[in-house]
Amino acid sequence: MWGPPDMLAGVGAPAALAIVERQGEALRQRYTARRDNQADINRLKDAAERITDVESLLKDRRTLQIVLEAFQLESEINKVPTLRRVLTEDPNDSSSYANRLADPRWKALATAFAGRTPVSLPAATLAATSAEEVARLSLSQFAGLDFLQVQALTVEQIDALRPDQIGAISPDAISGMDAADVASLNRDQVAALAPAQIRALLMWQVSALEPEDINALTKEQIRAFTPQQIGALTPEQVKAFSTDQIAAFTGRQAGAFDQAQLAALSDSQRNLLKFAPFVPDTTPETVQRSPLADPDLLNRIIDGAMTNRFEKAMGEDNPGMREALYFKRMASQVTTIPQLMSDRALTEVVRGALGLPTSFASLEFEQQKALLTQRLDLSRLQDPREVARMAARYVATREDAGSTSSNPAVMLLGGGGASLETLAAQGISLSL
């Protein structure tokens, strides 16, 4: 068994690639287990709990570094204005900045950090989906559920959800919960409701909250209740409030309690309401979540960053290995020649695998596109064996660049005969 990447130094890129093909996952796991990598992973997890918004992420350079590594964008860490726009604009909007950038990595970053991801399932289909499947939706997908989809959720599905998934549902959609759904919320799920969600509850939904769960509400949640919602509370619910919770009500809210509700309180609690302070209403209109709150996203970042580091480490001792491993991982996502050309690493591997000289990069975009269209059958990129052969051929050309001089097509393209530009202009096929 080979060890970490640096132990493959000296074996040559083709041999190293063959070893990684057989033992790649084990090698990557051992690389991830290195002390420096584990320290970075633990720091990221700790930082995820402190980072409250995109601005705090942008200010935490060490956390931002590993986030960008997950998307192969670590070299862009100083482009703060670009990062701010990509991380805050809706990637579902065709006019968003990420959608206007040619490099697909930006769109991948924007999509991963999107506050909401629409779920395409019709409400009836969602209702028929197993509770386990629904519970596997990401936080951004829960944020993307609409009113009818939330209305379609069953009690069994609600019971299977984590508190943070309940807390991710938008205020507009959470009013779709029926009384049975609201009543089924457990104490932890109620405690996870954002103030904006509390404010969005309809009167009958407020009345459906179980009294024992009411006791889990925080000061911020309590101050989100409108006077109308307070009026909808039953005496049993009011009785469940602790003295500390009663002390959290504002003067504006205290005036909404009726005689039946006040009768459910102790004398000291009624006295607290009598002298409740009048403070400004600061309840936000939207659910505000940390950009790293989704555990699925956090795991994806860790996996992506470690994969990027592993591939980079492999390339340090074996030229072309990083590009080849990246190509093997990403090639199946390519469906068009322009999409391929937007990724320089993928294009470089294809160039080498097809035997095109380095001067290919000096051609105009349309000339490059025409040559790649002639030479590359995109269906090959969907075949893992074809992709592996292309990667192997690329690293072989990188290891011994001089060997390409024996290739008749390359000699014709790069030497004293017709130039690459001339052949491209004439539309001559370069198939080997």
8-41 pLDDT, tens digit per residue, is 666 677 777 778 888 878 888 999 999 999 999 9
**Rounded mean pLDDT, 332-355:** 91
Distance CA 96, CA 204 (A): 39
- Other beta carbons within 10 Å of 307: 19
pLDDT value at 4 more than 90: no
The token duo for 157 is 């599905």
Note if the pTM is more than 0.75: no
Q: For the chain, give every domain's residue range.
A: 1-113+292-318, 123-274, 319-432
Report the C-alpha gap between 262 and 275 in whole angstroms.
Answer: 14
- Among 212-226, 282-296, 403-417, top mean pLDDT goes to 212-226
| Distance between CA atoms of residues 60 and 112, nearest Å | 19
Find which of 106-110, 138-142, 268-272, 406-410 is predicted with most confidence, using mean pLDDT: 268-272
The single-letter code of the amino acid at 189 is: Q
Right CATH for 1-113+292-318 from 1.10.3720.10, 3.30.450.40, 1.10.3700.10, 3.20.20.450: 1.10.3700.10
Least reliable range by pLDDT among 98-107, 339-348, 404-413: 404-413
CB 171 within 8 A of CB 286: yes
Report the pLDDT averaged over residues 133-147. 91
Residues whose CB is less than 8 angstroms from the CB of residue 145 and which lie 6 or more positions away in sequence, other chains included: 119, 169, 170, 173
Conformational region of residue 286, where left means phi above 0, alpha means psi within -120 to 50, and beta covers everything else: beta
Asked which of 7-11, 197-201, 329-333, 397-401 is least confident by mean pLDDT, the reply is 7-11
- Chain-centroid distance of CA 320 in Å reads 29
Whole-number Å distance between alpha carbons of 190 and 183: 10
Band (pLDDT 50/70/90 cuts) for residue 91 is confident
What per-residue confidence (pLDDT) applies to 418?
38
